[in-house]
Structure 1
Amino acid sequence: MNIIAIDIGTSNCKAVITGTDLKALKTFEYATTPITPRQGWNEQNAVTIFNAVVKLLQQSIRFCGEENIACVSFSAAMHSFLAVDKNGVPLINMITWADLRSAKYAQALEKKNLAKKLYKATGVPIHAMSPLCKLMWLKAEQKAIFRRAHKFISIKEYIFFKLFGKYIIDHSIAAATGLMDAKNICWYGEALRLADITKEQLSELKPVEHYETALLSPIKKKLKLKKEIPFVLGASDGALANLGCGIVNANNAAVTVGTSGAVRITSNKFLIDKKQRLFCYYIGDGAYITGGALNNGGIVLQWLVEKILKQPFRDEKQLDVLFKSAAAVKPGSNGLIFLPYILGERAPVWDENAKGCFIGLTETHTEAHIIRAALEGVCFAVVDVLLALEETSGNIKNIYLSGGILKSEVWVQLLADISGKKIMLNEAADASALGAAFIGRKALGNVKSLAAAKMFLQNVKTVKPSAANHRIYKKYFTVYNDLYGKLKNVFAELTAIN
């Protein structure tokens, strides 16, 4: 029997078909290009995404054969936001996590000293990514739409409404909205009051294993299904990526560096960081995903190569040349430090106004120094979140690394040297989809607990840090760690001027 895992991302939607052993057999994919009409705006067309999901389901059903499908299970990006009318028709484009229009409303919550109270209750740092802040923006700046809205939902809720005619949301996606009480697993009254909505305007909360079988008749006909198949709600992409990598306790951390980045652990405690640097999202079985998401991963290298060096970023041979030139530079780039916040930043600073900058630039620095400083800067940012996690949850023994960073041995070694930890290379592709397939099996009663996801844990290769380089980097990290605090007000002033 097969499981169809649907992964709804911000750049593409994919279907990963697995066997009951959860090994991928086939992948189908559709690009879903974000709509960016203005700087700071990031939207998607909900109808287009739903149509892509239907096409993926059609392809997957044809590939498997209806009689061989055990279930369909879903993964989706966090923080998406959509307002719909009484008929479920979108009133706006779906707003993604990357949209910054609600930044001033997030900052207003900070100024009113409400951020800490909200964070302690929900586990969601106050930031423009949060649907809570998006609701406040919509009410203030799109009053007519706010009044017309029947429901405020995420993209996965929209898809389930279109499939089943019901508004339901899994605990994991709800946990990332800033609207859910993370301890009591219910909608949080204070957040709803600030957003000026009622719980009736939100979906019904359900466990990640919840499934529906009664497809609406037109959809069932479109998919050419005769029997009822369980459609499992699943969870958020971040939570499922942890499961798909086998990270099921706080001793191991999953680190991903692709275009952006993330550092996450799984814990059986609701972990709140006193400095509000980390998120803590409930997934199920008393487990929480704690960590931080970074805006600036490989996008920093792409920016540097394309915009500054004026070279093609997709040319892997040329990138190898750049990495080799960076490898020839001594640790610390001859006193050059790069703060990599070119897209603002989420963890650990949660500041839309944050900016990138080179500190320590002199006439002795070359292109190679600048490249190495940029690579080191991204690693410093990852380690910044790792240290916040260790302060909050205790020592992290192992780092399981995945993402595009694995293509560069130089960059992986830098992360090992700067963190001072052994790096386990985890080449699990489509970890979120595999996590969704795992939840599918759990929904069917084939596995008893989330802890069984440790089956996915793999270590293709171990990269050890250089003790000598780590001693050097500890000194540079002390300087790096002070930079944002010293420049925060400067960044805000530059934003105001610009």
Structure 2
Amino acid sequence: MNIIAIDIGTSNCKAIITGMDLKVFKTFEYATQPITPKQGWNEQNAATIFKEVVKMLQQSINFCGEENIACVSLSAAMHSLLAVDKNGAPLMNMLTWADLRSARYAQALEKKNLAKKLYAATGVPVHAMSPLCKLMWLKNEQPAIFRRAHKFISIKEYIFFKLFNKYIVDHSIAAATGLLDAKNICWYSDALKLAGITEKKLSELKPIEHYETVLLPSIKNTLQLNRAIPFVLGASDGALANLGSGIVNANNVAITVGTSGAVRITSNKYVTDKKQRLFCYYISDGLYITGGALNNGGIALQWLVEKILKEAFRNESRLEALFKAAAGIKPGSEGLIFLPYILGERAPVWDENAKGCFIGLTETHTEAHIIRAVLEGVCYAVADVLQALEENSNDIKHIYLSGGIIKSGVWIQLLADVSGKKIMLNETADASALGAAFIGLKALGKVKSIGDAKMFLQNVKTVKPSAANHRIYQKYFAVYRSLYGRLKDVFSELSALP
């Protein structure tokens, strides 16, 4: 028997087919296209994504044969928001986590001293990514859509509605909305009041293992299915990436650096940070995922290569040459520090107005210095979140690294030197989809607990830090950490200029 796991991301959607041993033997995927007509806007067409999900289901079912399918399980990106009418038709394009139009509503909550209370109750830092802030923006700036909306949902909820004509949301996706009471696992009334809605405007809460089997007749016909197959709700891509990498306790931290980045642990404690630097989202079985997401990972290097150096980012031989040039520069780039907030930033500063900048630039700095400074800047950003995690969870012992960064030995070594920790490479492919497949097994009763996901933990290679380089980086990191506080008001002033 096979499991079909579908991961709905903001850059691409993917379907993997595994056996009951969770070994992947087939993948289907397609790239999603963001709609970005203006700076700060980031939308997607929900109907188009649903069509592609149906295509991947058709491909997967045809590949497996329906008699060989044990279940379908889903993963999806967090923080999306879609308003639909009474028929379930979208009234707008879906807003992704990267849409920043609600920034001033997030900032207003900060000024009214409501952010701390909201964070303590929901585990979600107040930021434009949050559906809570998006709802406040929609209510005030798109009132016609807000009034017409029958439901406010995420992309995964939209897909389940199109499949089953039911509005249901798993605890994990709901936990990232800023609307869920993270301790009692119910909708949080104070947040609903701020958003101007009641529970009736939201989906029914369900565990991540919940599944449905009665597809709409039209969908069943489209997929050419003759028998009932469980469709498991699954969870958020971040939570499932931890499970799919085997990170199931607070001793291990998963660090992913791709286009963006993330630093996450799995814990049986509801861990919040006094400085509101970290998120804490419920998963299941009394477990939470705690950490921080970064806007600026590999995208910072891509910006430098494409916009400044005017070269192709996908040219692997050229990239290798750039990494080699950077490796020839001393740690600290001879006094040059890059603050990598070119897309604003989420953790640990949660500031949509944050800007990227070079500090310490002199006539002695070359292209190689600038490249190394950008690589170091991303490592500083990761270490900044890691340090916040360590301040709140003293149990972290091992770092497992994944994402595009693992293609560069130079960049991996920089992260080890900056953090001062051994880096274990985790090459688990499609971790979020694999985590979804695991939840499929749990829904079917084939595994007892989320802790069984430790089967995925792997260490392909260990990279040790240089003690001498780490001592140098400690001094630079101290300067890096002070920069945002010094420049925060400047960033705000720049954002207000025409």
Q: TM-score, normalised by structure 2?
A: 1.00
Partner in structure 1 of residue 68 of structure 2: 68
Query: Residues of 2 paired with 1:57 and 1:331: CA distance?
Result: 49
Partner in structure 1 of residue 102 of structure 2: 102
- Cα deviations across residues 179-214 of structure 1 (Å, max 9, x unaligned)? 000000000000000001000110000000000000
2:249 matches 1:253: no
Partner in structure 1 of residue 365 of structure 2: 365
Query: Residues of 2 paired with 1:395 and 1:283: CA distance?
Result: 20
Question: SS in structure 2 opposite 1:74?
Answer: strand
Query: Residues of 1 paired with 2:312 and 2:235: CA distance?
Result: 37
Query: Residues of 1 paired with 2:86 and 2:261: CA distance?
Result: 38
Shift, 1:30, TM fit: 1.7
Name the % identity: 82
Partner in structure 2 of residue 485 of structure 1: 485
Query: Residues of 2 paired with 1:480 and 1:118: CA distance?
Result: 29
Partner in structure 2 of residue 468 of structure 1: 468
| Coordinate RMSD, CA, aligned | 0.5
- Cα deviations across residues 105-135 of structure 1 (Å, max 9, x unaligned)? 0000000000000000000000000000000
- Cα deviations across residues 30-59 of structure 1 (Å, max 9, x unaligned)? 221011111110001110011001000000
Query: Residues of 2 paired with 1:238 and 1:290: CA distance?
Result: 10
For 1:139-150, list aligned pairs within 5 A: 139-150=139-150
- Which residue identity does 2:486 align to in structure 1? K
Partner in structure 1 of residue 47 of structure 2: 47
- Which residue identity does 2:227 align to in structure 1? K
Shift, 1:312, TM fit: 1.3
- Which residue identity does 1:411 align to in structure 2? W
Question: SS in structure 2 opposite 1:447?
Answer: coil
Query: Residues of 1 paired with 2:49 and 2:321: CA distance?
Result: 39
Partner in structure 1 of residue 157 of structure 2: 157
- Which residue identity does 1:292 align to in structure 2? G
2:20 matches 1:20: yes
Query: Residues of 2 paired with 1:13 and 1:411: CA distance?
Result: 27
Partner in structure 1 of residue 423 of structure 2: 423
Question: SS in structure 2 opposite 1:380?
Answer: helix
- Cα deviations across residues 449-485 of structure 1 (Å, max 9, x unaligned)? 0000000000000000000000000011010010000
Query: Residues of 1 paired with 2:114 and 2:261: CA distance?
Result: 28
- Which residue identity does 1:384 align to in structure 2? D
For 1:82-481, list aligned pairs within 5 A: 82-481=82-481
- Which residue identity does 1:137 align to in structure 2? W
Question: SS in structure 1 opposite 2:209?
Answer: coil
Question: SS in structure 2 opposite 1:284?
Answer: coil
- Which residue identity does 1:488 align to in structure 2? K
- Which residue identity does 1:223 align to in structure 2? L
Question: SS in structure 1 opposite 2:40?
Answer: coil
Query: Residues of 2 paired with 1:291 and 1:300: CA distance?
Result: 21
Question: SS in structure 2 opposite 1:364?
Answer: coil
Question: SS in structure 1 opposite 2:319?
Answer: helix
Query: Residues of 2 paired with 1:223 and 1:400: CA distance?
Result: 39
Query: Residues of 1 paired with 2:251 and 2:387: CA distance?
Result: 13
Question: SS in structure 1 opposite 2:283?
Answer: strand
Query: Residues of 1 paired with 2:53 and 2:324: CA distance?
Result: 42
- Which residue identity does 2:196 align to in structure 1? D
Question: SS in structure 2 opposite 1:333?
Answer: coil
- Cα deviations across residues 51-89 of structure 1 (Å, max 9, x unaligned)? 001000000000000000000000000000000011101
- Cα deviations across residues 420-477 of structure 1 (Å, max 9, x unaligned)? 0000000111000000000000000000000000000000000000000000000110
Query: Residues of 2 paired with 1:165 and 1:455: CA distance?
Result: 35
Shift, 1:13, TM fit: 1.1
Query: Residues of 1 paired with 2:480 and 2:70: CA distance?
Result: 51
Question: SS in structure 1 opposite 2:488?
Answer: helix
Query: Residues of 2 paired with 1:360 and 1:396: CA distance?
Result: 33
Shift, 1:395, TM fit: 3.9
Query: Residues of 2 paired with 1:299 and 1:392: CA distance?
Result: 28
Shift, 1:140, TM fit: 0.1
- Which residue identity does 2:157 align to in structure 1? E
- Which residue identity does 1:313 align to in structure 2? F
Shift, 1:12, TM fit: 1.4
Query: Residues of 2 paired with 1:119 and 1:359: CA distance?
Result: 32
Partner in structure 2 of residue 59 of structure 1: 59
Query: Residues of 2 paired with 1:350 and 1:240: CA distance?
Result: 23
Query: Residues of 2 paired with 1:196 and 1:20: CA distance?
Result: 45
Query: Residues of 1 paired with 2:166 and 2:96: CA distance?
Result: 22
Question: Structure 2 regions of 5+ residues with no counterpart?
Answer: none
- Which residue identity does 2:112 align to in structure 1? K
Question: SS in structure 1 opposite 2:348?
Answer: coil
Query: Residues of 2 paired with 1:142 and 1:77: CA distance?
Result: 24
Query: Residues of 2 paired with 1:265 and 1:224: CA distance?
Result: 41
Partner in structure 2 of residue 10 of structure 1: 10
Shift, 1:309, TM fit: 1.2
Query: Residues of 2 paired with 1:324 and 1:367: CA distance?
Result: 12
- Which residue identity does 1:17 align to in structure 2? I
Query: Residues of 1 paired with 2:409 and 2:198: CA distance?
Result: 51
Query: Residues of 1 paired with 2:367 and 2:198: CA distance?
Result: 55
Query: Residues of 2 paired with 1:350 and 1:256: CA distance?
Result: 19
Query: Residues of 1 paired with 2:243 and 2:113: CA distance?
Result: 35
Q: How many residues align?
A: 498
